[in-house]
Amino acid sequence: MNFQQVAREETTKPGCYFYHINDGLHYNISSQREGTRYLKCVFYERGCRGRAIIDAVDGLVHTSDHTRNDLCPDAHYPNEMALRRAILQRCSSLEHASFIQILTQESHW
């Protein structure tokens, strides 16, 4: 697997990203050192201890098993984040629309 196959997608926070290789496991950066990114599961705060690394040679490598099988893997996580971003953006605008209208219009995936 090479580095180009690692997907980087935005979270709901501007300038923050999560990483995945379309296997249902998603990670946030924990730290970076000498060209290697150390990642932890996006559900780390909820008890999942999954870990991975990304480097230029091997791409994304899972290094620790995910401990919350009820949360991971989650194939819908990227779509859920995209929907959350769209809803937050619409709610923060001065547009007059009910939440139900926004949800209906934005949940087209």
Looking at the structure, do residues 64 and 33 belong to the same domain, yes or no?
yes
Looking at the structure, do residues 86 and 57 belong to the same domain, yes or no?
no
Looking at the structure, do residues 19 and 69 belong to the same domain, yes or no?
yes
Token pair for residue 66?
């995910």
pLDDT in tens, 81-98: 888 888 888 888 777 888
Looking at the structure, do residues 59 and 81 belong to the same domain, yes or no?
no
Looking at the structure, do residues 69 and 91 belong to the same domain, yes or no?
no
Model confidence at 106: pLDDT above 60:
yes
With beta carbons less than 8 A apart as the criterion, state whether 82 and 109 touch.
yes
pLDDT interval class at 55 (50, 70, 90): confident
Looking at the structure, do residues 96 and 63 belong to the same domain, yes or no?
no
The number of folded domains in the chain is 2
* 47-86 as b/e: b if 16+ CB within 10 A: ebebbbbbeeeebbebeeebeeeebbebeebbeebebebb
Q: Which residue has the tokens 């934005």?
A: 106
> What is the extent of the structural domain holding 101?
76-109
Per-residue confidence (pLDDT) for residue 58, from 0 to 100: 82
Per-residue confidence (pLDDT) for residue 53, from 0 to 100: 92
pLDDT in tens, 74-83: 888 888 888 8
